[in-house]
Amino acid sequence: MTAGTLTSTPRSRPERRPLMAFVRRNRRAFSALLIFLVLLAIFTILNPKVFTNAITYRAIFLSLPISLFVVVPMVFIVASGEIDLSFPATVGITSWVFSAAVRSGWEPFAALVPALLLGMLIGVVVGSLVTYVGLSSLVATLGMNFLLRGIINMGTEGVAIQFPQMRSTTLWQVFAGRIDGFPIIDDFPIHMIWGVLFVALGWVLFNRHKFGTQVQIVGDNPDSATEMGINVFRVKIAAYVFMGIGATLAGVLSVLVNQNWWPTTGDGLLLPTLAAVFVGGTPTWGGIGTVVGSSIGAFIIAFIETGIIAAGLTGYVTQFFNGLVIIVSLIGHRFNGPRYR
């Protein structure tokens, strides 16, 4: 009996350890999910009619994927120890190139190519300024944001581009169409699926690919990364190129969804994106990040404004609650695990 007892105890522990290890590894993402569920429960209690209606979620899902396309690359940049404040202008200028090409008679799929190339080029330029030139990423990307936005304003003089025929294109049907008969939510925005797939791609790159490992090592200690044979400059530039790709996709998706392009396209993405990344559990000091957690952070930010209005409050208090949720989330993440450096 004693021998049986001794042999049965170790067998029960391995069954629990993988689950505990999984929770510990993903505690920041679970914290973000808990915050989201609590907020959703509060909003549902305050106005069950709105948050039990599928139309509410469909309206949120129309714009949420645009944020996901820039939130995921931002995790890589922050985890590498840098920041990017230029991506809103990248969204604007690449979507401008796409819109101008379509207006000139290009097929939408063909017009996507120069937009993506420009987004990648901007990523290379910004990354080179930060690495080879040695500029602070905060200052360099802020200056690039003003520079690119100035180019847009000079080139367009504030004139928008309308696309009333966009719904008839194959690109719109594939990337921004609707799915009839989707479970629970009818007329489901198909680009929400593309947004989730992009999050999955980011998770694979960050957690299962050597690029993500190198990003985290570089962000934790660049000197040690160099001694390990990692090209620190190339890794950081690659992270900015990834942001250029994500910003381009966000800009093109914005044009497809709204069926127009405005010179201010992308301007409203900066603060919500940074908030989503930090609320989701990616700390500011580099070396650590969570793609899933930051994506959940994007859900949190997207639901806040709708929840505030549904609760009977005015839109004037949105910024207050955004700030409150961000601060509370950061405090929670700070005490949820040790600060690594």
Q: Return the number of other C-beta atoms located less than 10 Å from residue 236's C-beta.
A: 26
Closest alpha carbon to 287 in 136, 112, 77, 138:
77
pLDDT of residue 3: 45
- Confidence band of 100 (pLDDT split at 50, 70, 90): very high
Give me 103's structure tokens: 């207006």
- Confidence band of 304 (pLDDT split at 50, 70, 90): confident
Give me 117's structure tokens: 């190339």
Residue range 153-175: mean pLDDT, rounded: 90
pLDDT of residue 336: 64
- Confidence band of 225 (pLDDT split at 50, 70, 90): very high
pLDDT of residue 20: 76
Q: What is the rounded distance in angstroms from the CA atom of residue 73 to the CA atom of residue 277? A: 10
> In percent, how much of the chain has pLDDT > 90?
59
Residue range 117-140: mean pLDDT, rounded: 96
Domains contained in the chain, CATH given: 28-336 (1.10.3470)
Q: What is the rounded distance in angstroms from the CA atom of residue 294 to the CA atom of residue 91? A: 19
Pairing of strands 161-162, 188-189: unpaired
State yes or no: pLDDT of 103 exceeds 60.
yes
Using CB atoms within 10 A of its CB, is residue 198 exposed (0-12), middle (13-18) or buried (19+)? buried
Longest dimension (CA), the chain: 86
* 296 CB-side CA count, 13 A: 26
Residue range 63-77: mean pLDDT, rounded: 96
Give 138's contacts (C-beta < 8 A, 6+ positions apart).
83, 85
Q: What is the rounded distance in angstroms from the CA atom of residue 303 to the CA atom of residue 43? A: 9
Q: What is the rounded distance in angstroms from the CA atom of residue 67 to the CA atom of residue 199? A: 11
State yes or no: pLDDT of 257 exceeds 50.
yes
Strand partners, 188: 179
Pairing of strands 178-179, 260-261: unpaired
pLDDT of residue 333: 66
Q: Return the number of other C-beta atoms located less than 10 Å from residue 7's C-beta.
A: 9
Contact between 281 and 333 under an 8 Å Cβ cutoff? The reply is yes
Q: Return the number of other C-beta atoms located less than 10 Å from residue 26's C-beta.
A: 17
DSSP 282: -
- Confidence band of 7 (pLDDT split at 50, 70, 90): very low
pLDDT of residue 2: 45
For residues 207 and 166, the model is more confident at: 207
pLDDT of residue 235: 97
pLDDT of residue 337: 57
At residue 189, φ and ψ (nearest 5 deg) are: -65, 120
State yes or no: pLDDT of 15 exceeds 60.
no
State yes or no: pLDDT of 11 exceeds 90.
no
pLDDT of residue 315: 66
Q: Return the number of other C-beta atoms located less than 10 Å from residue 114's C-beta.
A: 16
Average pLDDT, the chain: 88
Contact between 72 and 198 under an 8 Å Cβ cutoff? The reply is yes
Give me 21's structure tokens: 């290890």
Residue range 52-76: mean pLDDT, rounded: 93
State yes or no: pLDDT of 230 exceeds 90.
yes
- Confidence band of 327 (pLDDT split at 50, 70, 90): confident
For residues 71 and 279, the model is more confident at: 71
For residues 52 and 206, the model is more confident at: 206
* 14 CB-side CA count, 13 A: 4
pLDDT digits (tens, 9 = 90+) for 122-132: 999 999 999 99
DSSP 165: T
